Every structure is written in C-alpha cells, then in structure tokens.
Amino acid sequence: MDDTLPHPNRITPFNELIATQARGTLMGNRGILHDGQGRIIKPFAHRNWIACLLEFKGRYRRVMTPGRYTHLFFLDEATALAAGHRPCGECRRADYLRFKDAWANVRGTDAGKLKAADIDRVLHTDRVAGRGKHRYKPTITATFGSIPDGVMFHQGEDDTVALLKWKGQVWAWSPEAYRDGTRMDQGQAIEVLTPISVVAVIRAGYVPGVHGSVKR
C-alpha cells in the first residue's frame, strides 16, 4: 500500500467512494470495508452508518489499519446525510439527540424509547436498494421548491453533478468545496439524493452543517 497516494475513502453525495487529496470536515464509519492491502472490497459492513468528528478525546488510529474500521470522509454533514449517514451518538451527542428528536417527531414516536438501531433499520432501506453487484442508491423525484434547505439532489439526466439547496439557492458539490450559488425555478423537476427519511427529519427542523464555501 502506497501511503503517498490518497485512499479511495472519500464519500460523495451519490454514495460513491473516491480517492482525492481534498480534506473533509467529518469522518464516517460503516465497519471494515478494506482488506490487508488497503483496498476497498465492499461498500458497507453493517447498518450503523455514522458521521463523526475528525477529532475526539485524543483518539488516533492510522487510516486503513488492517482489521479495524475503515475511515471514511465527507466534505460536510449535508454530504454525509445525502450518502445515508446519521450523526454519531457519542462524539456528536448533541447533534444525534437533535436528529433523533426530529425523527421521532416525524414518526409520532417517543424519542426516549427510540434506539439508534430503529433509525438505522429504516434508513438503510432508504439509502440502499438491490443486492450484491446490483446495489444502487435510490433517488426520489420531486420539485426544487418542495425540498428544504440542506437536501442534496441532481437534475434528471445529469447524474454526474450533485447539488445542494441552501437558503433557496443551488450550490454545486465538489470534493474540495461548493461553487456557484445560482437560482432554480421552484417547479424544476429534480432527483433527490438525500434519503426520504432524512429529508423528513430536515423538514422537521434538523439543520445540517454545510461547508464554509457556502455563503450563509
């Protein structure tokens, strides 16, 4: 394994794993996805997909350590949520509780009795479809005006550029940062990348963190 080269462990809003020199602002975990040579051999190992802080209590582990979970990285939380991750209940406790409260509110359940596994079970069906080599990321057809800020999407036939809605504007995603900041017609048809259950959580009041390249 050549440590001078970037690892293919950066997650895009399309839930693809890519190699890039660009740094992310959050780390993710889906279990052990790499082999002894640092090669990604599967997209996930369990349903507990979380988004974590880059640093927490001085803990450190070398990326791609054999037999240990694979470090994944995201540009920001909007990207992590679009890929199907949720806030970690340990290092991002406050965010996790806000997310859980919004989730419970949407579903009319008691947040106090809601477990992370309950969230992960539902979320997994919204972020992964198919089996084996035929797995794919489900999308939802909607209009631009119908989705809340913080949701990511792409425009129909153009499935190569992920877009973020923020403050009513459109921001194009890249591994390094967002760009543009244009307007879109409210009735424009789009394909939503953020899982439908997470869209509902955002609509219920959970505000995702976005990269500093997005104008507030």
- The verdict on residue 3 lying in a domain is no
pLDDT of residue 144 exceeding 80, the answer is: yes
Domain containing 37 equals 10-127
Specify the pLDDT at position 23: 85
Residue 199 is assigned to a structural domain of this protein = yes
Query: Three-state SS across the chain?
Result: CCCCCCCCCEECCCCCEECCCCCCCEEEECCCCECCCCCECCCCCCCCCEEECCCCCCCCCCCCCCCCCCCEEECCHHHHHHHCCEECCCCCHHHHHHHHHHHHHHHCCCCCCCCHHHHHHHHHHHHCECCHHHCECCCEEEEHHHCCCCCEEEECCEEEEEEEEECCEEEEECCCCEEEEECCCCCCEEEECCCHHHHHHHHCCCCCCCCCCCCC
What pLDDT does 4 receive? Answer: 61
Q: Has residue 2 got a pLDDT over 60?
A: no
| Residue 151 in this model has a pLDDT that exceeds 90 | yes
Asked if residue 3 has pLDDT above 70, the reply is no
Is residue 216 predicted with pLDDT exceeding 70?
Answer: no
Which range (25-34, 50-59, 146-155, 162-171) has the least confidence?
A: 50-59
Q: Which residues pair with 26 in a beta bridge?
A: 74
Q: Dump pLDDT digits (tens) for 166-211.
A: 999 999 999 999 998 889 999 999 999 999 999 999 999 999 999 9
Amino acid at 12: T
Q: Do 19 and 87 have their domain in common?
A: yes
Domain presence at residue 149: yes
CB atoms within 10 A of CB 135: 12
pLDDT of amino acid 98 = 98
Are 28 and 88 found together in one domain? Answer: yes
On average, the pLDDT of the chain sits at: 93
Examine the fold and report which residue of 127, 147, 167 is the final residue of a domain before the chain moves on.
Answer: 127
Regarding whether 178 and 77 lie in a shared domain, the answer is no
Nearest to 150 by CA among 194, 101, 85: 194
CA distance 144 to 166: 11
Residue range 36-57: average pLDDT? Answer: 94
Identify whether residues 72 and 151 lie together within a single domain.
no
Are residue 83 and residue 45 in the same domain, yes or no?
yes
Q: Please state, in angstroms and rounded to a whole number, the distance separating the CA atoms of residues 73 and 55.
A: 12
Same domain assignment for residues 118 and 143: no
Residue 1: pLDDT over 70: no
Do the domain assignments include residue 162? yes
In a domain, 209, yes or no: no
Q: Is residue 118 part of a domain?
A: yes
pLDDT exceeds cutoff 90 at 63:
no
Do 153 and 199 fall within a single domain?
Answer: yes
Give this prediction's pTM: 0.94
Total domain count for the chain? 2
Across residues 72-90, what is the average pLDDT? 98
Tell me: do 157 and 104 sit in the same domain. no
Say whether both 20 and 118 belong to one domain: yes
Residue 133: per-residue pLDDT: 77
pLDDT over threshold 90, residue 55 = yes
Mean pLDDT across 145-154: 98
pLDDT surpasses 80 at 158: no
Domain membership of residue 96 (yes or no) is yes
Domain termination site, one of 75, 109, 127:
127
The predicted-structure confidence for 84-131, as pLDDT tens digits, reads as follows 999 999 999 999 999 999 999 999 999 999 999 999 999 999 999 988
Give domain status of residue 52, yes or no.
yes
Instruction: Indicate if 14 and 74 belong to the same structural domain.
Output: yes
Given 106, 127, 148, which residue is the final one in a domain?
A: 127
Residues 113 and 149 both lie in one domain: no
Return the pLDDT at 5: 72
Q: Are residues 144 and 172 in the same domain?
A: yes
- The angle formed by the CA atoms of residues 176, 34 and 178, to the nearest 5 degrees, is 10
